[in-house]
Amino acid sequence: MTLHLPDTAAGGTYALLFELAQPLTLAAGKLGPLRLPAGWAVYVGSAQGPGGVRARLQRHLRQQKRLHWHIDYLTHCAAVQGCVFVLGPQPRECLWVQHLAGLPGASLPAPGFGNSDCRRGCVAHLIHFPPGLPPRLDDFSRGPGLAILPLPTTAYP
């Protein structure tokens, strides 16, 4: 799969899309074993450090890496099917999570996943959608403060 990454080291917010053809059990660091149902999963993160969104997405797409963040455990056993991002220093991560969690069919099957540094009280930064109901980027982009740039992939439905 080819993702078009930002050509700058600017920080920003991003979302990764995964298709889970069958239920998946993974050990995500201190969270212990998690069972994710079959369907679609969206992870929302931010990258304001060195290298910004570009470096963070490159890391998430690599298979060979030290498993450090919760998302590393998911990217180690499930392929990224698509992603979106927006550049800028504005904190949008929790707004995106709240928007996605409010879409039809959304659930939060892994409390604590990806939100260890969350200051707004999100249950998780991983949102699940049932099989046959992937979150559409056009739906996602209607949320408050969301200026989404879709990244073409070979696998996004």
Instruction: Write down the pLDDT at residue 90.
Output: 84
Residue 7 lies in a domain: no
In a domain, 50, yes or no: yes
pLDDT of residue 144: 44
Q: Which one has a higher pLDDT value, 145 or 51?
A: 51
For residue 3, is it within any domain?
no
Q: Map tokens 């239920």 to a residue.
A: 23
Phi, psi of 121 (to 5 degrees): 80, 25
* Per-residue tokens: 7: 């050509």
- The answer to whether residue 43 sits within a structural domain is yes
Structural domain for 57, as ranges: 12-151
Element (H, E) at 41: strand 39-47
DSSP H helices, 44-146, are 52-61, 70-77, 93-101, 137-140
In tens, the pLDDT along 70-119 reads: 999 999 999 988 888 888 888 889 988 998 998 889 999 999 999 988 88
What is the pTM for the complete model shown? 0.86
Does the residue 67 lie in any domain?
Answer: yes
What span, in angstroms and rounded, lies between the C-alpha atoms of 147 and 149? 7
Domain count for the chain, please give it: 1
For residue range 120-131, what is the model confidence (pLDDT) as tens digits?
A: 899 999 999 999
- 100 part of a folded domain: yes
Question: Does residue 119 belong to any structural domain of this protein?
Answer: yes
pLDDT-derived band at 2, boundaries 50, 70, 90 = low
Please give the Cα distance from 82 to 35 (Å, whole number): 22
